[in-house]
C-alpha cells in the first residue's frame, strides 16, 4: 500500500532526529570519555612530576655528601617518574587537545613542562651523576705532590653537554606565554621556568669551571700567579692594603709557594703605570704608582693587571694572573685544615714576644690584623711574620691537611663574600671569569642590573680599620615621575679605645704622619649606583654635604671623606635617583674584618601609596 507523502516525510524527519540524537549522544559519550581520559592523564602527569620534584632534595644531599652510587639510584627513580609524565603528555588525545583553539594552549604548556623535566633528567642529571662518580673532592685542590687533572678534563664535555641540554629546555619554557593560560596552569609553569633557570645557571657555572680549572691548575704547563693577601686593617676598596706578596706556582696540580715579598718592597713606579682616565680621576695616579694603592679602585681586574705590571717591572718575573685572599678567608681555610703550628724558626722567634705558636680559624684574624702590630715593633718584621704565616697556611693546604670538601666550601664562602678574587692575563680565560663574582668586576655580566656598591679606602695611612664597625643598607623610595629613588645608608663607628693615641702602637694609629690625629680614623667612602642613574645628594651626619661626583663604566660614583675619633659614629647617606632598573636592588661592599651579615643590612622597601 502506498504511504502518503505526508507520512513518509514524517518518517524521514523522525529518522533524521534519531540519527542526530544518536550522534549527539555518541559525541557526548566520546567527549565524556575523552574528558575522563584527559583527566586521568592530567592526574598522572601531576603526580609523576610531583614525585620527581620530591626527590630533588635527596639528590642534592647525596651529591653534596659525595655519594655517587646513591645519587645514581635516585636519578634512575627520578627518570622513571619524568618518563611516565612525558608518556602521558605525549598521548595522541592529549596532543589533539593541545591543538584546540582556546584551551589547547594549556594542554601544550603542560606537555612542554613534562618534556623539559624528562630532558633535564636524562640529558642533564644522568650524565652529571656519572661524572660525579669519576671525581673526588680531593681532586679539586692542588697538592705539593701533584694532582691528576685528567678526570676533571674528561668530565668537561659531559658537563658542557648537560648544560646545553638544560639550557635548550629552559628556552622552550621561556617561549610559553603565561598570560594566555589558566591560573592553575600558569602558576606551576612559572615555577618550572624559575627552577629550570636556576639549574641552567648552576650547570653553566659547572661547565665553565670544568673547562677553566684544568688549564689554570697547570694541566698544559706551569702557571705562575701573584698571590696578594689583602690586609683589612687598612681598608682598600677591594678589601685591604696588599700585605704579603708571593708567587704561587701550579704545575699539573702541584702547588709551590715562592719566597714572600711585600708591597713596600716593590717600590715606586717611575714612570707611573697607565690607568684609564675615569679611574685616574676618581682614585688619582696613585693606583699606577704604588703597589699599596693598586686596589684603591673596587674593580679588581684593574687592580690585578696593574699589580702584575708592577711585579714584572720590579722582578722581571712573568706571572699569568693574580690571586687575592684576605685573613678572614684564610680563617675559613684553617677551619677546614685544623690548627697549624708555627714551625719556621724565624716565625717562632718572632712569636716569642707573645704571639700564638698555633693558629686556627678563630685567632688568625686578630693575630694578623691586630696583635702582630702590638707585639712586633719593626714594620719589616711585621711583614715577615705576615708572609710567613701565609706560607704556613698554604703549606698545610698543599700537603693535604684537613677535609678537601670543607676546604672547597671555605673557599666558596670567601668568594661569595668578595674575599677571594682571581684575574687571568689570558683574555679568553678572563672573559669567562668576568661572568662571576670571583672576578671582582664593577661592570659586566657579573653585575646585576640594579647593583649598588659601597667601598672604603683608608685615609689615615695606618691600621685603624680593625677597630671600625660599619653597616650598609639600601632604602628604596617612591617618586612621582615613574622612576625609583634609592638611598645608600652607611654608618661607621670607631670602636678604638678612648686612649688609642697612647695605648696603640704608632704604626697602627699612623702617628699623625698624614695629618690625621692619632686614634682617629679617616675614611674615603665611595658609593656606586646602577648605570643610567645619578647621585642626587649626599648627607653626612644629617647635613647636606658637598661630594665628588664621577662616572665609572657608565655607573654613577659619589665619594665623601669621614673622620671619626675614638667612640664617634657617623652616618652617610647617598641618594641615587633616575633609576630605571626594575629588578631587586643588590648591594656589594668592601670585605672588612666584620662578618658580611653584620655589615649588609636588609633593604628597607618603599611603602608607596597609589595615586587617587
pLDDT of residue 611: 47
pLDDT of residue 241: 96
CB 555 within 8 A of CB 528: yes
Q: Which one has a higher pLDDT value, 531 or 607?
A: 531
pLDDT of residue 43: 77
DSSP three-state, residue 121: helix
Average pLDDT over residues 532-545: 95
Nine-digit cell at 465? 680599620
pLDDT band at 457 (very low <50, low <70, confident <90, very high): very high
pLDDT of residue 198: 67
Nine-digit cell at 93? 588525545
The pLDDT tens digits of the residues spanning 386-425 come to: 888 888 888 887 777 777 778 888 888 999 999 999 999 9
Selection from 510, 587, 588 nearest residue 233 by Cα: 510
pLDDT of residue 560: 98
Total length of the chain: 612
Sheet with strand 543-544: strands edge to edge:
468-478, 484-494, 569-579, 534-540, 543-544
Phi first, then psi: what are they for 434, rounded to 5°? -65, -15
CB 322 within 8 A of CB 308: yes
pLDDT of residue 22: 56
CB 295 within 8 A of CB 242: yes
Pick the range with the lowest mean pLDDT from 13-22, 71-80, 327-336, 491-500: 13-22
In angstroms, the CA 392 to CA 396 distance is 6
SS (H, E, C) 78-99: HHHHHHHHHHHHCCHHHHHHHC
pLDDT of residue 134: 62
pLDDT band at 34 (very low <50, low <70, confident <90, very high): very low
pTM of the model: 0.84
Average pLDDT over residues 567-574: 98
Percent of the chain with pLDDT over 90: 46
In angstroms and rounded to an integer, the radius of gyration of the C-alpha atoms of the chain is 32
DSSP three-state, residue 161: helix
DSSP three-state, residue 230: strand
Pick the range with the lowest mean pLDDT from 356-370, 486-500, 515-529, 585-599: 356-370
CB 232 within 8 A of CB 328: yes
Selection from 435, 440, 399 nearest residue 422 by Cα: 440
In angstroms, the CA 31 to CA 34 distance is 5
pLDDT band at 146 (very low <50, low <70, confident <90, very high): low
pLDDT of residue 69: 84
Asked if pLDDT for residue 88 goes beyond 90, the answer is no
DSSP assignment of 475-522, as one string? Answer: EEEE-SSS-EEEEEEEEEEE-S-TTHHHHS-HHHH-TTTTSPPTT-EE
Phi first, then psi: what are they for 149, rounded to 5°? -100, 0
CB 462 within 8 A of CB 523: no
Asked if pLDDT for residue 469 goes beyond 60, the answer is yes
Distances (CA, A) of 330 to 228, 257, 389, 475: 12, 15, 10, 33
pLDDT of residue 357: 84
pLDDT of residue 160: 80
Average pLDDT over residues 112-126: 80
Average pLDDT over residues 128-153: 66
Alpha-helical regions (H) of 223-299: 263-266, 277-283
CB 359 within 8 A of CB 343: no
In angstroms, the CA 381 to CA 435 distance is 39
Residue-averaged pLDDT of the chain: 85
DSSP H or E run through 9: helix 5-54
In angstroms, the CA 237 to CA 284 distance is 14
Q: Which one has a higher pLDDT value, 517 or 355?
A: 517
The pLDDT tens digits of the residues spanning 427-445 come to: 999 999 999 999 999 999 9
In angstroms, the CA 544 to CA 575 distance is 11
Nine-digit cell at 39? 583527566
The domain ranges of the chain are: 5-216, 223-424, 447-599
The pLDDT tens digits of the residues spanning 265-303 come to: 999 999 999 999 999 999 999 999 999 999 999 999 999
pLDDT of residue 1: 47
The residue behind cell 632598573 is 581
* Residue 212: other Cβ atoms inside 10 A: 18
CB 263 within 8 A of CB 289: no
Asked if pLDDT for residue 223 goes beyond 50, the answer is yes
CATH architecture assignment, domain 223-424: 3-Layer(aba) Sandwich (3.40)
Average pLDDT over residues 533-558: 96
Distances (CA, A) of 448 to 133, 316, 451: 35, 38, 5
Q: Which one has a higher pLDDT value, 589 or 174?
A: 589
In angstroms, the CA 241 to CA 376 distance is 19
pLDDT of residue 81: 84
Asked if pLDDT for residue 33 goes beyond 50, the answer is no
In angstroms, the CA 552 to CA 455 distance is 14
Asked if pLDDT for residue 233 goes beyond 90, the answer is yes
Nine-digit cell at 595? 662578618
CB 245 within 8 A of CB 447: no
Asked if pLDDT for residue 187 goes beyond 70, the answer is yes
pLDDT of residue 93: 76
Asked if pLDDT for residue 153 goes beyond 80, the answer is no
In DSSP terms, 241 is beta-bridged to: 231
DSSP H or E run through 557: strand 555-564
Amino acid at each position: 500500500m502506498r504511504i502518503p507523502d505526508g507520512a513518509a516525510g514524517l518518517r524521514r524527519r523522525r529518522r533524521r532526529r534519531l540519527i542526530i540524537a544518536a550522534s549527539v549522544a555518541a559525541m557526548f559519550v566520546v567527549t565524556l570519555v575523552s574528558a575522563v581520559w584527559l583527566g586521568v592523564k592530567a592526574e598522572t602527569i601531576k603526580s609523576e612530576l610531583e614525585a620527581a620534584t620530591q626527590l630533588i632534595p635527596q639528590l642534592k644531599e647525596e651529591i653534596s655528601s659525595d655519594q655517587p652510587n646513591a645519587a645514581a639510584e635516585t636519578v634512575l627513580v627520578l627518570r622513571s617518574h619524568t618518563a611516565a609524565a612525558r608518556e602521558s603528555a605525549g598521548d595522541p588525545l592529549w596532543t589533539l587537545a593541545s591543538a584546540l583553539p582556546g584551551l589547547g594552549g594549556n594542554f601544550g604548556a603542560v606537555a612542554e613542562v613534562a618534556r623539559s623535566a624528562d630532558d633535564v633528567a636524562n640529558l642533564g642529571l644522568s650524565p652529571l651523576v656519572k661524572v660525579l662518580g669519576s671525581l673526588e673532592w680531593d681532586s679539586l685542590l692542588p697538592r705539593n705532590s701533584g694532582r691528576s687533572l685528567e678526570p676533571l678534563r674528561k668530565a668537561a664535555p659531559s658537563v658542557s653537554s648537560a648544560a646545553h641540554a638544560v639550557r635548550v629546555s629552559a628556552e622552550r619554557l621561556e617561549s610559553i606565554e603565561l598570560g594566555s593560560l589558566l591560573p592553575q596552569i600558569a602558576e606551576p609553569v612559572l615555577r618550572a621556568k624559575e627552577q629550570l633557570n636556576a639549574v641552567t645557571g648552576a650547570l653553566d657555572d659547572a661547565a665553565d669551571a670544568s673547562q677553566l680549572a684544568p688549564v689554570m691548575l697547570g694541566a698544559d704547563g706551569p702557571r705562575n700567579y701573584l698571590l696578594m693577601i689583602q690586609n683589612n686593617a687598612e681598608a682598600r676598596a677591594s678589601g685591604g692594603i696588599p700585605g704579603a706578596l708571593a708567587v704561587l706556582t701550579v704545575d699539573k696540580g702541584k702547588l709551590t709557594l715562592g719566597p714572600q715579598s711585600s708591597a713596600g718592597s716593590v717600590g715606586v713606579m717611575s714612570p707611573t703605570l697607565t690607568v684609564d682616565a675615569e679611574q685616574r680621576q676618581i682614585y688619582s695616579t696613585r693606583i699606577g704608582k704604588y703597589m699599596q694603592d693598586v686596589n684603591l679602585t673596587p674593580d679588581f681586574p684593574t687592580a690585578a693587571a696593574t699589580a702584575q705590571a708592577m711585579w714584572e717591572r720590579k722582578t722581571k718575573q712573568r706571572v699569568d694572573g693574580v690571586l687575592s685572599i684576605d685573613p678572614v678567608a684564610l680563617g675559613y681555610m684553617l677551619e677546614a685544615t685544623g690548627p697549624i703550628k708555627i714551625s719556621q724558626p724565624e716565625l717562632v722567634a718572632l712569636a716569642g714576644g707573645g704571639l700564638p705558636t698555633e693558629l686556627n680559624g678563630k685567632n688568625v684574624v686578630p693575630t694578623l690584623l691586630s696583635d702582630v702590630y702590638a707585639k712586633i715593633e719593626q714594620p719589616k718584621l711585621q711583614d715577615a711574620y705576615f708572609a710567613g704565616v701565609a706560607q704556613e697556611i698554604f703549606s698545610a693546604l698543599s700537603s693535604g691537611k684537613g677535609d678537601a670538601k670543607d676546604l672547597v666550601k671555605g673557599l666558596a664562602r670567601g668568594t661569595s663574600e668578595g674575599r677571594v678574587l682571581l684575574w687571568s692575563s689570558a683574555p679568553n680565560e678572563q672573559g669567562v671569569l668576568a661572568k662571576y663574582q670571583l672576578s671582582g668586576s664593577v661592570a659586566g655580566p657579573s653585575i646585576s642590573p640594579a647593583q649598588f656598591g659601597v667601598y672604603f679606602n683608608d685615609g689615615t695611612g695606618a691600621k685603624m680599620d680593625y677597630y671600625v664597625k660599619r653597616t650598609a643598607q639600601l632604602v628604596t623610595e617612591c617618586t612621582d615621575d615613574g622612576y625609583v629613588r634609592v638611598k645608600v645608608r652607611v654608618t661607621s663607628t670607631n670602636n678604638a679605645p678612648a686612649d688609642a693615641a697612647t695605648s696603640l702602637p704608632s704604626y697602627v694609629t699612623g702617628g699623625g704622619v698624614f695629618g690625621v690625629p692619632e686614634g682617629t680614623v679617616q675614611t674615603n667612602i665611595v658609593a656606586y649606583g646602577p648605570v643610567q642613574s645619578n647621585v642626587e645628594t649626599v648627607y653626612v651626619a644629617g647635613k647636606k654635604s658637598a661630594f665628588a661626583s664621577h662616572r665609572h663604566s657608565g655607573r654613577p660614583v659619589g665619594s665623601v671623606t669621614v673622620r671619626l675619633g675614638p667612640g664617634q659614629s657617623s652616618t652617610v647617606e647617598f641618594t641615587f635617583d633616575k633609576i630605571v632598573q626594575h629588578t631587586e636592588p643588590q648591594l656589594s661592599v668592601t670585605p672588612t674584618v666584620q662578618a658580611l651579615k653584620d655589615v649588609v643590612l636588609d633593604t628597607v622597601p618603599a611603602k608607596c601609596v597609589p595615586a587617587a
